[in-house]
Chain A
Amino acid sequence: MNNIFVYCEVEDGVVADVSLELLTKGRSLANELKCQLEAVIIGAGLKEVEKQVIPYGADVVHMIDDPRLAPYTTMPHSSVLIKLFQEEKPQIALMGATPIGRDLGPRVSSALHSGLTADCTSLEIGDHEDKKAGKIYKDLLYQIRPAFGGNIIAWIINPDCRPQMATVREGVMKKEMINKNYPSKVNHLEVSKYVSDTDFAVQIIERHLEKRKINIKGASIVVSGGYGVGSKENFKLLYELADVLGAEVGASRAAVDAGYAEHERQIGQTGITVRPKLYIACGISGQVQHRAGMEESAQIISINTDPDAPINALADYVITGDISEIIPKMIKYYKLNTK
């Protein structure tokens, strides 16, 4: 009772990174609240899959294994969670802000009339005073997320309803194994008690998994390179920085023409127009045609060996120097300054 639950996504017997990240976060929240961390794994052919989650500090692993439970469909998975949460009364329930978590979470929260906050970027424990009602709430989950197109940060709480539910995107939380032999109890649930045959009305006829498409337009941070990057080899630095920041990599037309980057990444008048929160221009001089595709970025960092590059006029931060020296330092100090 009153524990923290994490719904774990499984594809082909492998637990998703986002679920392990949430277990790590859930473990630290559980320590703070002095409660237990419980994982829920729903799927098919789950033999020994619990071994992937136990090292992250799950005190209990609930498993429900049935050939009909994979691949994921909405109704059977939500039926399991709704019933299990009614029995176990968790205080907090977390899931990935993935197509699965974003399909499942609202359904479960609606059935339980519990609040759900999507795409949290931070989760903290804290108190809340309702001055009107003269009530103090202890140890609530602060669900912190950007809102209004990323222009404001909101602290959301669910004072009265349980579980307090939140989804978090992959890569937002750190994943950290604590003990390979963490003492844990596995609880095998009986399918027929949780799922009814009518839950299988929606059928998946065909599935085709493919690599993710490049999504520069939707990225909130873009690391972009120009001719000044110098080579395809040097472009790898941009990918490293983008990886760390959760950004996409873009390029100027000159860089695409020189073969440093694929055409799909071209930003500018003849390419994609982006308006990210942060645009990091590396070795880009800033011709009009490129500027047309990025000048509405909220913040712009320009890294260039030329202190008078035209793009610097648009920039909020101008770093004069060589990218091969500066980018590794940005990665280093980003890592040092985030937990």
Chain B
Amino acid sequence: MKGIKIIVLAKQVPDTRNVGKDAMKADGTVNRAVLPAIFNPEDLNALELALRVKDEVPGSTVTILTMGPGRAAEIIREGLYRGADGGILLTDRAFAGSDTLATSYALSQAIKEMGKFDLIVAGRQAIDGDTAQVGPQVAEKLGLNQVTYVEAILKVDKSQITVRRRLDNGVETVKAPLPMLLTVNSSAPDCRSRNAKLLMKYKHARTVTERQEATEDYLYLYDSRPFLNIHEMTVSEIKSEPSQLGLAGSPTKVKRIENVILQAKDAKRMTAADEGINDLMKELIESHVIG
């Protein structure tokens, strides 16, 4: 095989960027209904870099791997519409409550079932957690080199890759042997849009669960068109220790959660008097808006 076999790690996330005043309910809890589920933005940048490698190196393939609930199959379809060759949805109740470490364990065990690969590309971080941890943790678990904060792949062949990193204080050009893992910044090119032909080709792509739940009459398609099967991988298909999965496999626990009340009633009016400004700063600090 001359081409480069690429795995893109992606996540479906609530769109926390569009948080407006209606994002919080009156009782101070998050109003998830108004936040659409989207393809994590930097994972789209990662997909774009992977697709560019595929464009450039003949015979390359791009496979999306995502872990999440059943509906996360949406982002695999989204990836197929943009040029990915296939996708795997890693989904099981056993993964519920995973922190970044348990997530990276499950992902890395799934990757071990996916056969030989040359390159793993992931978004730097997901907007619902902003931790930037899963990429490097997957690399560690697979014993791979990692390069984070990548915005461009400058050169790649079957044995090595040269990339440009965008850091807070400048840029770095880095060379690394394959196989390895990259995480990609939002400063990388935006992902191409859906391709009309691919949209037609993949619009009925479904996981086995989705097919069982479907009322549509397309079921006859799946035997004749295997590319419409989105592989749903459950815990039984990976080699794993239960103690490393889900809540049990997560060293970090959430002790408690406090809501930031974003909604103010009527405007508070004040002047330049010291007391009012002192009270205002106190209030903003106490509600974690500043400080």
Give the CA-CA distance A48 to B254 in the complex, in Å.
41
Give the CA-CA distance A154 to B253 in the complex, in Å.
10
Given A153-B257, A298-B262, 6 more contacts at CB 8 Å? A99-B167, A110-B101, A298-B21, A320-B270, A329-B274, A333-B281
Q: B136–A107 contact, CB under 8 A?
A: yes
Total A-B pairs, Cβ < 8 A: 250
Contact A299 to B255, CB < 8 A, known contacts A151-B16, A151-B24, A212-B169 = no
Closest to B172 in A: A207
- The B-contacting residues of A in range 276-333, CB under 8 angstroms, are 277-278, 296, 298-299, 301, 307, 312, 315-322, 325-326, 329-330, 333
| A102, A149, A207 — most chain B CB neighbours (10 Å) | A149
Q: Does any Cβ of B come within 8 Å of A142's Cβ?
A: yes
Q: Does any Cβ of B come within 8 Å of A233's Cβ?
A: no
Q: B17–A275 contact, CB under 8 A?
A: yes
- Report A57 CB to chain B, min CB distance, Å: 24
Give the CA-CA distance A117 to B149 in the complex, in Å.
19
Q: Is the interface of B mostly helix, strand, loop or mixed?
A: mixed
What are 7 A-to-B residue pairs whose CB atoms are below 8 Å? A110-B137, A149-B128, A153-B260, A204-B173, A299-B289, A321-B271, A330-B277
- The A-contacting residues of B in range 174-190, CB under 8 angstroms, are 174-177, 180
- Report A326 CB to chain B, min CB distance, Å: 5
- The B-contacting residues of A in range 110-166, CB under 8 angstroms, are 110-111, 113-119, 121, 128, 142-143, 146-161
Give the CA-CA distance A138 to B162 in the complex, in Å.
48
Q: Does any Cβ of B come within 8 Å of A205's Cβ?
A: yes
Q: Which residues of A contact B133 (CB under 8 A)?
A: 102, 105-106, 109, 116, 118
Contact of B257 among A102, A109, A152 (CB under 8 A): A152
| A71, A155, A301, A317 — most chain B CB neighbours (10 Å) | A317
Q: Which residues of A contact B262 (CB under 8 A)?
A: 151, 277, 298-299
The stretch of B2-10, B67-75, B140-148 in contact with A is B140-148
Q: Does any Cβ of B come within 8 Å of A75's Cβ?
A: yes
- B interface footprint on A173-217 (CB within 8 Å = 1, 0 otherwise): 000000000000000000000000000011111111111100000
Q: Does any Cβ of A come within 8 Å of B197's Cβ?
A: no
Give the CA-CA distance A105 to B272 in the complex, in Å.
45
Q: Does any Cβ of A come within 8 Å of B132's Cβ?
A: yes
Q: Which residues of A contact B169 (CB under 8 A)?
A: 209-212
Q: Does any Cβ of A come within 8 Å of B267's Cβ?
A: yes
- Report A327 CB to chain B, min CB distance, Å: 10
Q: Does any Cβ of A come within 8 Å of B130's Cβ?
A: yes
Q: A153–B258 contact, CB under 8 A?
A: yes
Q: B101–A275 contact, CB under 8 A?
A: no
| A98, A202, A312, A322 — most chain B CB neighbours (10 Å) | A202
